[in-house]
Amino acid sequence: MKFFFVINGKKVKQYMVVVFAAFFAASLAFVGQQQLSVFSSKDGPRAIYKGEDQGNKVSLTFDISWGDKRVTPILDVLKDKGVKNCTFFISAAWAERHPEIVERIVKDGHEVASLGYQYKSYTDWEDKQIKRDILLAQEKIKKVSGKMTSLIRPPNGNFDERVLNISEDLNHTVVHWSIDTKDWKNPGVDRIVTTATDKTKAGDIILLHASDSVKQTHKALPTIIDKLRDDGFKFVSVSEMIANTEANSKEVN
């Protein structure tokens, strides 16, 4: 598991922070206003966890790796609320088992991205295993959805410098999140709503889930959508969030 310490970069011009984890060390790069916020290895590739803080845009993202009972109610809520452009990070093995759901995700106007194929932690694997899993996932998701993935969220959100390098070599951008609702713990509808909306800012990437383990997410989602809209936020896919800023992002040393 990789841990990061995040420092608000708006009020300082330069800073450096050293991050220690059990087996891996990396530096955190935080880019300034109107640019992306990223995790980065020194002089290496990055993992995006937040978009630009202009334009009142937020991204709702959903991870799904097993089951078919919770995702349909979630898709129904999004459709009823007129929300498109969410990003669904899907396990390719799950996509193979549920092609009709993947087809609906795309038909409803949402973005599909990769959770890998087997949904096992990449940090426990050798390089060749990671490469094989990313490429197999891309192939299988394209076969089912007709879409070529370019975004990946490593299983369980675990990544290190190797994973960043391999993903970049395979033309995949690693996407983390800035708000974790922890909805998989089923902490209660009100808690999920509060976590998703209370401190949300422009550029936030919000993590939700659509696997069968989540029993309250579809109940919390209507209120989440209403509250964020009332606060003036617009829902965009992760790709749209980073499209105009990725090339301009840079590390602050």
Residue 27, both tokens: 């530096």
User: 98, 110, 209, 218: which is the annotated catalytic residue?
Assistant: 209
Q: How far apart are CA 163 and CA 171, in angstroms?
A: 12
Rounded to the nearest 10°, the torsion over CA 115, 144, 111, 70 is -70
Q: What is the DSSP letter of 94?
A: H
User: 63, 160, 183, 204: which is the annotated catalytic residue?
Assistant: 63
Q: How far apart are CA 24 and CA 250, in angstroms?
A: 22
Q: How far apart are CA 236 and CA 83, in angstroms?
A: 9
The answer to whether residues 105 and 78 touch, using CB atoms and an 8 Å cutoff, is no
Residue 98 falls in the annotated catalytic set: no
Residue 53 falls in the annotated catalytic set: no
To which H or E segment does residue 39 belong? strand 37-40
Q: How far apart are CA 243 and CA 237, in angstroms?
A: 10
Which residues participate in catalysis according to the annotation?
63, 209
